[in-house]
Structure 1
Amino acid sequence: MALRDRLRRLVQKPGSADLTPFRALVDEAGKRESRVRELSDGELTAAASALRAEEGRDGDQDLAELCALGREAARRTLGERPYDVQLIGTLALLSGHVAEMATGEGKTLAGALAAAGYALRGRRVHVLSVNDYLARRDAEWMGPLYAMLGVSAGWVGQSSTPGQRRAAYAADVTYAPVSEVGFDLLRDRLVTDAADAVLPPPSVALIDEADSVLVDEAMVPLVLAGAADLDAADPRYADLVRRLRPGLHYAADDEARNVQLTPAGTREVERVLGLDLYAPENLRTLTAVNVALHAEVLLHRDVDYIVRDGAVKLISESRGRVALLQRWPDGLQAAVEAKEALEASPSGEILDSITVQELIGRYPVRCGMTGTAMAVSGQLTEFYGLQIAVVPPNRPCVRDDRPDRLYATAADKEVAIVEEIAAAHAAGRPVLVGTGDVAESERLARSLARAGLDRVVLNAKNDAEEAAIIAEAGASGAITVSTQMAGRGTDIRLGGSPPAAPGTAPADTPGSDHDRVAEAGGLLVIGTGRYHSSRLDDQLRGRAGRQGDPGASVFFTSLQDDLVARYAPDEKTKAASDDDGLITDKGAHWIVGHAQRVAEGVDLELHRNTWRYNHLIGLQRRELLTERDAVLTGDAADRAMAESAPAKHAELAKAAGADAVAAAARQIVLYQLDRCWAEHLAYLADLREGIHLRSLGRGLDPLVEFNREAVPAGKRLLPDARERSVAAFEALTATEDGIDLDSAGLRRPSATWTYLVHDNPFGSLDERALRGLIAMFKRR
């Protein structure tokens, strides 16, 4: 290796992709810019169309020409000439990497140019975002650019009809929330007519906020449920556990991840209910009481959820926003609704589910963009085979990232935060404060009000006002108190100038307001504590210092923070504090960093563990879907019934005709395949919950024990479905008017709905099972 290459790799961040080839292509695109500017709009579109290649011949594309044409098309249609670094980001995406680009560097435009490049290679592109708003905004904003490049684009949202979805997916580029694509896939897997499917075969997934989707939400199950007669939570249990006293009737662990009844609590519950709680016949009552106790003690309003419009809305831990369509497993969801005295939401049988990671894994080509990827480069490589391309900013970042300020108590920390905000406000600096949850944001807002400071609060309760609040967060003297909502996907301009409207030039020209705020030091970002992930810290920091603007960031932490209490409860320090509670000892500061590293390690292990379980389920699902597709699109069902029940097949064909028999056989086999899969999912869910206590009690590996029972159950799936299909086929009756399918008992759910499951609110199953064992031994 040449000395120059050795030095370059030494300076380059470990695990990142080499940008040298991309820079050479961008330089070549720059040389062609004057020629491309001479083209008319029609000639530019024709030149882009000439780049179209047959699918699979990606290497034949002239990438320098694509960059030159894309830059000129963006300049004409959007009023934005992409920077060289944006084109480097585009090329990184076209190479199948995750492009790490700082705030304000134009990821949306870089992604659109990459999507157009893939489309011109003959590939269908899904640009996956985190919500409906971004999907529609970006599709409409970039629409003129795509049109000039001869590429069609569409978008899918929660309210899109099947026809609108089918049309959007037929476009070259489709913008959609990752959840909606997953839900469409689940619905397609249950269609009984191939013409009803909406999703085309997967090709390219270009993921916005890639680290959030691919890591934070990777193992979130997307669920398709069907109406079933399941009992709602009995409000008696919510009333009962509300009257229990902490310490006397129940005990929670130090990390607030588990709670159990004490002997006194058990006696009190038995007295009120008039039964032996631990008798085998009262297992359902015991479960209901425990779930109600978890809902009452461990899930907190304005921290884990809010109540809006008469419903419980979960809050995304990594975003601070309402987690749209997300809910806890049915029992826990119903218990929280009973706790809040709300009407129970629909519950039902899970017909199918898929994790976000498995959904993304279906795409042969994956790439993405985010501002914080290197911190999880190992996971992106381990789970997706992705490399990171660290794209430098267009202008050097001059933000002043100050050392953390550590305090002995949370009260000392809050006093210091208010003083810091007051000082910055007096100097005319805008301040953005990032808090851990809704409750903390409102508590700090009250403290600021008592100090006579005007402030605006942004959290999950008023997320509809986000755009308006963020637009003014950079105004002189503005104070914005926010949850993690303001830490990702937002762009704060100094001076409070509103964002440019789609299709117009960005409002980046410095004016008097911008200059006044810049002279005061720019935006000051304050974190009221370290988050459980360093990436969330970096996202919050990144709100300041946009495009070379001045700015600063500082985190205030305390030894009483939830992060320390949960992940480093045994770490102690004898370091003294100043009169105001400030601690400067390096060992004490190490405790906070250690707690965050432990939290990140726990999240990674949970990801790995959940993936191991879901990998087997995915293999079993794939085998069943292969059979289902053969039945749906061919005559496999008709042939199977003719072989297994020849006499009945001949009888029905004589009475109703061969076509009617083939259609009936198809419906019967599809129904039995879907029925067996739903039952198998329920069995696996129960197995996974129960296997942990059993295996840990015997000192066995839970995963091995799970596979020992799940693998044989999976092998019985198809034979059971075939056997049931034959039995149902034998029960059919027919006349000249057709075949009576009702006689086969094909009762599909009267209604279906989709949602996401937050299935680890209290930690991993292993952790909870182990704590349960310890509590059991203590009671003995």
Structure 2
Amino acid sequence: MPLVHLIHEAYTGIQGLSNDDLRAKTPELKQLVVDFIAEEKAEIANIKSRIGDDPDMEIEKKENLYQKVDALEKTIEEKTDEILLDILPEAFSVVKETAVRFNGNESIEVTANDFDRDLAASGDRIEIKGDKAIHLSTWMAGGNEVTWDMVHYDVQLIGGIILHQGKIAEMATGEGKTLVATLPIYLNALSGNGVHLVTVNDYLARRDSEWMGPIFEFHGLSVDCIDKHEPNSEERRIAYNADVTYGTNNEFGFDYLRDNMASSTEGLVQRKHNYAIVDEVDSVLIDDARTPLIISGPTPKGDQHEFHELKPRVEKLIQAQRKFVTQAISEAKRLFGEDEKNKDGGLAIYRAFRGLPRNKALIKYLSEEGIKTQMQKTENYYMQDQSKEMHIVDEELFFVIDEKNNSIELTEKGIDLITDSGEDSSFFILPDVGGEIAEIEKSGMSEQEQASKKDQLMRDFSIKGERIHTMNQLLKSYTLFERDVEYVIMDSKIKIVDEQTGRVMEGRRYSDGLHQAIEAKENVKVEAATQTYATVTLQNYFRMYHKLAGMTGTAETEAGELWDIYKLDVVVIPTNRPITRADHEDLIYKTTREKYNAVIEEIVELTSNGRPVLVGTTSVEISELLSRMLKMKNITHNVLNAKQHQREAEIVLNAGKPGAVTIATNMAGRGTDIKLGHGVVDAGGLAIIGTERHESRRVD
């Protein structure tokens, strides 16, 4: 019989229970799990006591016993999975009935236990009256007051089953993924081994732990959120020992790294990785998995650098290159005006692209019909025969940018420009160490003189290597990293903006001197350089879990990758009702100005009909530009970007009210719950205007 039917059967028996009897189901189910694996647990305890009682035991014998313990622990994991599947219908029914009772009543009265009293002492959601505990159905979550109004549909029960099986449930936007997760979380928490719910940002981790937590706490299961506590603290260890632990992917990963660096077992905060549900699983396991998590620390002489000394030279280079690129674009326009297939025009535009690929005038010109095709033809011509002719393109430039490989190289013309008169002509040129050593050895000098010359050569190589590296990082910071796009300045510090979530990544720094280069560019304090202490990729971290599951609205396109790397199946869950969202075709404009004017006109028209509008942008810079345009039209609006993240809960709360206008970066993309105000559905619902496509289709 299908599991959903078994849940319905079990549910009819649960419905008639009193509140106290409903709560008594949890210890009863926990005991079933304990009894099912009691034999193996007793055997492990027996083996460990034998090892402890005999300190002189032979190494080989001890090794064999520990291997036996490992085998028994594997058996326990398998048997736990087996018993959890057996009690699934009853466990899911308990959660559903709890949701029904919170939904239908302002409060639920039960006989108070110690757990209720502890919770009542630390919050105002539970009232203790004599020997009774009153659980209210209204509480604070994510800074806003919420009244419980949700009950699990059948499609959500299916989603819960899929998550329990360690698969990915793809559910459409608004289908209640957060609620679905309560079912497998409760079921797997009964084993006492802990359940981790992983979210993409700290706002969602805090909100979901506060929003869903009372359902678990009603049944005596402890809930905590690691993002509320400081790293390496006793509070964080307690959070990991809770039955249900919410947190962000990065914090789980960083805690694992910190545990690996701990000098004693007392310093550890995590326990064995049992079961994790990853919310927005494609974002975490694919988009974010490209960047490894790194813990770094101070390095000797880390505060010694040449960024400030070399900055004027870099600015001189940038100025000269900018001037040259502007001339090259004008030249290309003139030549293409005479003949649209002009080879010299193609060379000029390709030079401009190799010089400053992110130049706004160049990007605008390349968007004109046929221009990009001409440039690509030129590129193909010069890249043939292993770029044998590329020097013809590059000889006019001061430095060459290879955007694909994220690399920058100074040309001879550039080196001449920044090498001051009277300065060593090889000031920015690395010595040919092999050739120079051969010359020294042939010179007929004494061994002592040779050793001294070689030392001097290696010192020269090291100094120049560092100098050229500093130059390259400064050039990168000026040409490939833009303020309010890749980073923002807050509290006189450079803070990185996550390209996937649009949020500020607190405490993160670019590696290899790039962060210091950006600090020098923006005239803020240049922090000392750091070195890597520990690193792990999210891919490797999440593979450690005994069971891994995920939920998202956009995983089907990545199903192959998720199976290849994580052995995770994707199951598409049908919607509870047919989707009423109307998706329109893209509108393309010739110029940015026309596009933004059209966006403003659309906003005015939609809000006049009483519809709330959410405007999606790709960067902080564009969100602020649109905000200025709306201010000029006297249109009241909110901006949700990396600089405004403290007001996130308040902005999201008001975003669904009639006529509300919210401009947001992709911060509003993942898991943000916009509730529609009174009369909005009749007016046509929430209107979403995307101002441009993101790099990742899934963000859109």
TM range (shorter): 0.5 to 0.7
- What residue is the counterpart of 1:48 in the other structure? 26
Deviation at residue 374 of structure 1 after TM alignment = 1.3
Pick the structure with greater CA Rg.
Answer: 2
- Superposed, 1:333-732 pairs within 5 Å as 333-495=515-677, 513=678, 515=679, 517-537=680-700
Contact 1:233 1:334 in 2 (8 A): no
Deviation at residue 162 of structure 1 after TM alignment = 2.4
- What residue is the counterpart of 1:87 in the other structure? 157
Give the secondary structure class of the aligned counterpart of 1:317: coil
Contact 2:200 2:670 in 1 (8 A): no
Residue of 234, 239, 244 corresponding to 2:307: 234
One-letter amino acid of the structure 1 residue matched with residue 195 of structure 2: V
- What residue is the counterpart of 1:165 in the other structure? 236
Aligned CA distance change for structure 1 residues 47 and 279 (closer, same or farther; 3 Å): closer
Q: C-alpha deviations, 1:536-572, integer Å up to 9, x for none? A: 11xxxxxxxxxxxxxxxxxxxxxxxxxxxxxxxxxxx
Q: Does 1:267 align with 2:267?
A: no
Q: Does 1:329 align with 2:351?
A: no
One-letter amino acid of the structure 2 residue matched with residue 201 of structure 1: K
Contact 2:289 2:537 in 1 (8 A): yes
Q: C-alpha deviations, 1:120-176, integer Å up to 9, x for none? A: 245421212223333233223333222333433322125255211222222222222
Deviation at residue 526 of structure 1 after TM alignment = 0.8
Contact 2:275 2:548 in 1 (8 A): yes
Give the secondary structure class of the aligned counterpart of 1:366: strand
CA RMSD of aligned residues (A): 2.2
| Alignment partners' CA distance in 1, 2:207 and 2:658 | 28
- What residue is the counterpart of 1:64 in the other structure? 89
TM-score (norm 1): 0.61
Q: Does 1:97 align with 2:120?
A: no
- What residue is the counterpart of 1:194 in the other structure? 265
Deviation at residue 288 of structure 1 after TM alignment = 0.8
How many correspondences in the alignment? 496
Deviation at residue 336 of structure 1 after TM alignment = 0.6
Deviation at residue 411 of structure 1 after TM alignment = 2.9
Deviation at residue 361 of structure 1 after TM alignment = 1.1
- What residue is the counterpart of 1:250 in the other structure? 399
| Alignment partners' CA distance in 1, 2:101 and 2:422 | 73
Q: Does 1:285 align with 2:467?
A: yes
Aligned CA distance change for structure 1 residues 149 and 87 (closer, same or farther; 3 Å): farther
Contact 2:160 2:181 in 1 (8 A): yes
Contact 1:225 1:351 in 2 (8 A): yes
Deviation at residue 435 of structure 1 after TM alignment = 0.7
Contact 1:116 1:149 in 2 (8 A): no
Contact 1:85 1:393 in 2 (8 A): yes
| Alignment partners' CA distance in 1, 2:253 and 2:172 | 29
One-letter amino acid of the structure 2 residue matched with residue 358 of structure 1: N
| Alignment partners' CA distance in 2, 1:27 and 1:272 | 86
| Alignment partners' CA distance in 1, 2:231 and 2:544 | 23
Contact 2:95 2:182 in 1 (8 A): no
Residue of 253, 256, 268 corresponding to 1:182: 253
Residue of 307, 316, 323 corresponding to 2:498: 316
One-letter amino acid of the structure 1 residue matched with residue 418 of structure 2: V
Contact 2:91 2:186 in 1 (8 A): no
Contact 2:297 2:532 in 1 (8 A): yes
Q: Does 1:221 align with 2:199?
A: no
TM-score (norm 2): 0.67
Deviation at residue 418 of structure 1 after TM alignment = 2.2
- What residue is the counterpart of 1:116 in the other structure? 186
Give the secondary structure class of the aligned counterpart of 1:96: coil
Give the secondary structure class of the aligned counterpart of 1:225: strand
Q: Gapped runs of 5+ residues in structure 2?
A: 38-76, 103-136, 138-147, 325-396, 432-460
- What residue is the counterpart of 1:130 in the other structure? 200
Deviation at residue 253 of structure 1 after TM alignment = 5.3
Contact 1:70 1:113 in 2 (8 A): yes
Give the secondary structure class of the aligned counterpart of 2:524: coil
| Alignment partners' CA distance in 2, 1:144 and 1:38 | 22
| Alignment partners' CA distance in 2, 1:403 and 1:92 | 34
Deviation at residue 254 of structure 1 after TM alignment = 7.3
Q: Gapped runs of 5+ residues in structure 1?
A: 1-20, 496-512, 538-780
- What residue is the counterpart of 2:391 in the other structure? none
Give the secondary structure class of the aligned counterpart of 2:237: helix
Q: C-alpha deviations, 1:392-412, integer Å up to 9, x for none? A: 222221111011112233333
Contact 2:589 2:595 in 1 (8 A): yes
| Alignment partners' CA distance in 1, 2:646 and 2:590 | 37
Give the secondary structure class of the aligned counterpart of 2:78: coil
Q: Does 1:142 align with 2:212?
A: yes
| Alignment partners' CA distance in 1, 2:664 and 2:622 | 9
- What residue is the counterpart of 1:39 in the other structure? 17
Q: C-alpha deviations, 1:655-700, integer Å up to 9, x for none? A: xxxxxxxxxxxxxxxxxxxxxxxxxxxxxxxxxxxxxxxxxxxxxx
Deviation at residue 66 of structure 1 after TM alignment = 1.4
Give the secondary structure class of the aligned counterpart of 2:625: helix
One-letter amino acid of the structure 1 residue matched with residue 82 of structure 2: G
One-letter amino acid of the structure 1 residue matched with residue 93 of structure 2: A
Deviation at residue 292 of structure 1 after TM alignment = 0.6
Deviation at residue 26 of structure 1 after TM alignment = 2.4
Q: Which moved more, 1:321-330 or 1:71-80?
A: 71-80
Contact 1:85 1:392 in 2 (8 A): yes
Aligned CA distance change for structure 1 residues 347 and 480 (closer, same or farther; 3 Å): same
Give the secondary structure class of the aligned counterpart of 2:224: strand
Q: Which moved more, 1:254-263 or 1:376-385?
A: 254-263
Name the % identity: 39
Contact 2:196 2:246 in 1 (8 A): yes
Contact 2:316 2:418 in 1 (8 A): no
One-letter amino acid of the structure 2 residue matched with residue 47 of structure 1: K
| Alignment partners' CA distance in 1, 2:187 and 2:611 | 42
- What residue is the counterpart of 2:352 in the other structure? none
- What residue is the counterpart of 1:74 in the other structure? 99
Q: C-alpha deviations, 1:401-454, integer Å up to 9, x for none? A: 011112233333223222222222222222111011111111122223333433
Deviation at residue 232 of structure 1 after TM alignment = 4.3
Contact 2:277 2:550 in 1 (8 A): yes
| Alignment partners' CA distance in 2, 1:42 and 1:201 | 33
Contact 2:170 2:553 in 1 (8 A): yes
Deviation at residue 528 of structure 1 after TM alignment = 0.9
Deviation at residue 39 of structure 1 after TM alignment = 1.6
One-letter amino acid of the structure 2 residue matched with residue 124 of structure 1: G
- What residue is the counterpart of 1:688 in the other structure? none
Aligned CA distance change for structure 1 residues 65 and 150 (closer, same or farther; 3 Å): same
| Alignment partners' CA distance in 2, 1:257 and 1:415 | 34
Q: C-alpha deviations, 1:21-68, integer Å up to 9, x for none? A: 8xx322332343343122223322322333232443222322211111
Give the secondary structure class of the aligned counterpart of 1:462: helix
Contact 1:487 1:536 in 2 (8 A): yes
Deviation at residue 239 of structure 1 after TM alignment = 3.0
One-letter amino acid of the structure 2 residue matched with residue 46 of structure 1: A
| Alignment partners' CA distance in 2, 1:205 and 1:273 | 64
| Alignment partners' CA distance in 1, 2:82 and 2:260 | 34
